Structure formats: structure tokens, C-alpha cells
Amino acid sequence: MTAPLSDGAGGTGETIHLAGREVPLRWRSSARARRVSLRIDPRGGGVVVTLPPRVGREAGLSLLRTHADWVVARIDTLPAPTPWQDGGQVLLDGRPHAIRHCPQGRRGVWIEDGIVLVSGEVPFLPRRLGAFLRREAGVRLGARVADLAAQSGLRPRRLTIKDTSSRWGSCNADGTVMLSWRLLMAPAEVQQYVIAHELAHLRHLNHGPDFWTLVATLTPHRRAAEAWLRRHGTALLRAA
């Protein structure tokens, strides 16, 4: 399931001067690409240029210069980053949880009365919290996958949890289902829809009518979930 967001993974990064400002730029090469393309990277607040095989960087730079105003305008529409820090907030299952630094704590990261408590030194708080959220995503999303798989009989060969910025989930032909750990921050109904979407691909590796009919039998939340992701998905990618 592809979100309307750039991949941003891999490639090399630099900056470029566009429309009077410095813009983070990441290059990617893709054997499947048929043309040069530009996409906005919500994570880094920059632009990703994808090059097909045997196409040089000058073609990408030319496209960037032609669309400089579009690139800058799109970057300006990104929501502000939401840093993980003492006194801040993080979403869990769509509900905001306060972040509190507990320097004397001995438990790493834990949740208590709707508050996420993080021990250790302040500079390591974002890294500790990020690692905790990834583990928590494996537990919570894994349980939702297991529940829906048991109900539907659509059982993935393997489940992987990754940090992506172009896909909330995917399903490979070998039966491996991937979910973005950032779905942990979305409401349960959104999580259920993305999981249902990927499990349906175990039977239909396309987006044809039979696929959508199967999705509808697995979840009633498709339209609401897609709308929620359109409105709030980028903000999930900006959280760090």
C-alpha cells in the first residue's frame, strides 16, 4: 500500500539552491524507473530525485530547476516536525501521550497512566523512545496481524516491521508482509485497514475488483482510514 509520499530511503544526500533557498536533496537510482522523477521527502523536508539506469545527474538537475517553485511550495506545506522531548507528545493508537523524562528511572521506557516515561540522559531520549516504539509496534501490530489472519485464513509467511516513508505496508509474492512501525501512532481502525489491505494481497497481488471486494470483507474502515492517512500521515513521518 503506497502512501502519497516519497521513498527517501537509500541514495546519497546533499543540498541544492532552489528558488532562493537551500533544499536538502537525495539521489536515488532505480532499475525499475523509466523516467526521472521528483518526490518530496517528508522525513528530511527535502526532495528526492530518482534516476533510471544510464541516466546522469544532469537530467535530474534540469528537472529540479524546471520545477523549483513546485518543490519549494510542496516543502512549505509539510507539517512542522514534532520532536520527541520532555514535555512533548507522542501518539499511540491515535491517542496523544505526554513524554516525561525520568533521569533516575531504571526501566528504560515505559507507559504509566497515559504517560510515556523515558529514563537515562536527555540527549538519548529520542533514540530511546524511538527504539521503544519500534518494539511496541512489533508487539501491537503483530497481534493485530495474527488476529485478522486467524479470522480470515490469510496468513503471511513472515511479518517485518520497518521504518519507511513511502509505504505504510507491502506484501511480497513470497508471502512476506511489511508494515511501517509508524502505524503504531495511527488509530486502531487505520491499523486494521492497512493490515487488511496487505493480507488481501496474499490472495490478489493487484488492486482489481476482487482485491477490493476481499478488503471490504476484512474491514469496514477503508474510506475513513484512507482519509485519515491523507490528512495525518505526513505528520507521523515528521515525528522524531
Helix residue ranges per DSSP H, 84-221 = 125-152, 188-200, 209-218
Q: Are residues 68 and 135 in the same domain?
A: no
CA distance 72 to 75: 5
CA distances to 12, 20, 189, 224, 235 from 186, in Å: 30, 36, 8, 12, 10
Query: What pLDDT sits at residue 10?
Result: 45
Beta carbons within 10 angstroms of residue 36's beta carbon: 18
The reported pTM is 0.84
Residue 11 has a pLDDT of 53
User: What is the DSSP code string of 181-192?
Assistant: GGGGGS-HHHHH
Beta strands 158-162 and 176-180, pairing class? parallel
Q: For every one of its 240 residues, what pLDDT tens digit does the chain have, with 9 covering 90 and above?
A: 533 333 334 456 699 999 999 999 999 999 989 999 999 998 889 999 999 999 999 999 999 999 999 999 999 999 999 999 999 999 999 999 999 999 887 779 999 999 999 999 999 999 999 999 999 999 999 999 999 999 999 999 999 999 987 789 999 999 999 999 999 999 999 999 999 999 999 999 999 999 999 999 999 999 999 999 999 999 999 998
Same domain, 65 and 137: no
pLDDT of residue 104: 84
> Do 134 and 196 fall into the same domain?
yes
Structural domain range at position 38: 12-76
CATH number at residue 231: 3.30.2010.10
List of E strands, 12-144:
12-18, 21-29, 37-41, 46-51, 89-92, 95-101, 109-112, 115-118
